[in-house]
Amino acid sequence: MDLVVGATGDLGGRITRRLLEQGEQVRVLVRDTSDVSPLKAAGAELAFGDLREILTVDAACKGIDRIISTATGASRGGDDSVDAVDRKGHATLLRCAESAGVPRIVYVSATGFKSDSPVDLARAKATTAEAIRSSGLSYTILQPTFFMESWIGFVVGAQLRLGDTVQVIGDPARRYGFVAVENVADLVLSVLDHPDAQRADIPLSAGSCSYQQIVGWIAKAIDRDLQVHSVPPSSAIEGFPPILNELWSFAATGGMGPLTTPKVAEKFGFEMIRPRAFVQDFFGTD
Ligand SMILES: NC(=O)c1ccc[n+]([C@@H]2O[C@H](COP(=O)([O-])OP(=O)(O)OC[C@H]3O[C@@H](n4cnc5c(N)ncnc54)[C@H](OP(=O)(O)O)[C@@H]3O)[C@@H](O)[C@H]2O)c1
């Protein structure tokens, strides 16, 4: 049986649905504060709990063959701080997995997340990844680049609802790697039993481009005259979550750069959604 932690999130939800469609048995560690009815309807076994509550994590790990964790406190806030969820919560998960004899874990980190990063989320995820590597479990640590749904769909889409100017932190011509959430789910599903993915870190990126290019493609797709306005790193775009502004400043000052991994998709057998195709699909009218 698989245990998905983060199943009420975007990526974890896709992974859970696809595992169930493949006929796998899936348990999900979920909080009753989130809407779990779609997971229940899809056939998941609900284990109510919280990464911050060790007894619930311990119970959820019993009888599990593979853990997939996509959980993060970054988008939640309050008691779900980065420290409580991404650092301590995952230390708890690993401890419970080891004591329950779970053989394998797949963990979603990100490209460029290192233990000496100025961003706490990056440091916390790097610490968790290191603990997983040092554990006795077979593991795969995924290192995707910026999710297009967040960093193009939300970042540009939210600004276009307010006007024709898109604010960009740092140089608009700077290129970053991007990947679609569905492709991250493709990779998770493919690595679960793959012999080449045991005790491995795998980066994933569909393509690299700049916000200047992205805004140009969107302007064409929606037939609007759009402007790009650059703000310096360390400034915040109003209305955006603090973690997003912080990560963008980190990326804009060299923390993340261009990356494309065509061989990963080829090896694990799926088609990458390229940034331009994503833009057309997300913003286009036809
Ligand atoms: N966005 C990007 O560009 C990007 C890039 C690279 C990697 N990643 C990583 O990809 C992963 C998946 O992202 P996503 O967009 O699917 O995340 P998401 O939609 O924000 O989902 C976060 C999940 O974590 C769960 N969670 C939070 N605190 C918890 C706790 N205390 N106990 C148990 N569960 C808890 C949430 O459950 P509730 O619904 O109950 O709150 C939710 O299911 C994350 O680890 C993220 O860091 C993201």
pLDDT tens profile 133-154:
999 999 999 999 999 999 999 9
pLDDT at position 24 is 98
* Interatomic CA distance for residues 18 and 248, integer angstroms: 31
Class of the 1-144 domain?
alpha beta
Q: Tell me how far the alpha carbon of residue 68 lies from the centroid of ligand 1, in angstroms.
A: 12
Strand partners, 136: none
Task: State whether CATH 2.70.70.10 applies to domain 145-180+205-286.
Answer: no
- 145-180+205-286 shares the fold of 1-144: yes
The answer to whether the beta carbons of residues 111 and 144 sit under 8 Å apart is yes
Above pLDDT 70, what percent of the chain? 100
Q: Tell me how far the alpha carbon of residue 23 lies from the centroid of ligand 1, in angstroms.
A: 24
In whole angstroms, how far apart are CA 101 and each of 63, 88, 198?
8, 20, 17
pLDDT at position 77 is 81
pLDDT band at 173 (very low <50, low <70, confident <90, very high): very high
pLDDT at position 40 is 97
Q: Tell me how far the alpha carbon of residue 205 lies from the centroid of ligand 1, in angstroms.
A: 19
The answer to whether the beta carbons of residues 68 and 3 sit under 8 Å apart is yes
The answer to whether the beta carbons of residues 106 and 67 sit under 8 Å apart is yes
Decide if pLDDT at 203 tops 90. yes
Q: Which atom of ligand 1 is nearest to the CA of 247?
A: 3
Decide if pLDDT at 285 tops 90. no
Report the chain's terminal Cα–Cα distance, integer Å. Answer: 42
Residue 91: exposure state from Cβ atoms within 10 A (0-12, 13-18, ≥19): middle
Ligand 1 — pocket residues by CB below 6 A?
5-12, 29, 31, 33-34, 50-52, 70-76, 80, 85, 89, 108, 110, 144, 146-147, 150-151
* Interatomic CA distance for residues 101 and 83, integer angstroms: 25
Decide if pLDDT at 286 tops 90. no
The answer to whether the beta carbons of residues 89 and 128 sit under 8 Å apart is no
Mean pLDDT across 67-74: 97
Torsion of CA 156, 161, 164, 170, to 10 degrees: -30
Decide if pLDDT at 232 tops 70. yes
Mean pLDDT across 62-68: 98
Q: pLDDT of 84-126, one tens digit each?
A: 999 999 999 999 999 999 999 999 999 999 999 999 999 999 9
Decide if pLDDT at 36 tops 80. yes
Sequence spans of domains, the chain: 1-144, 145-180+205-286
pLDDT band at 214 (very low <50, low <70, confident <90, very high): very high
205: number of Cβ within 10 Å: 25
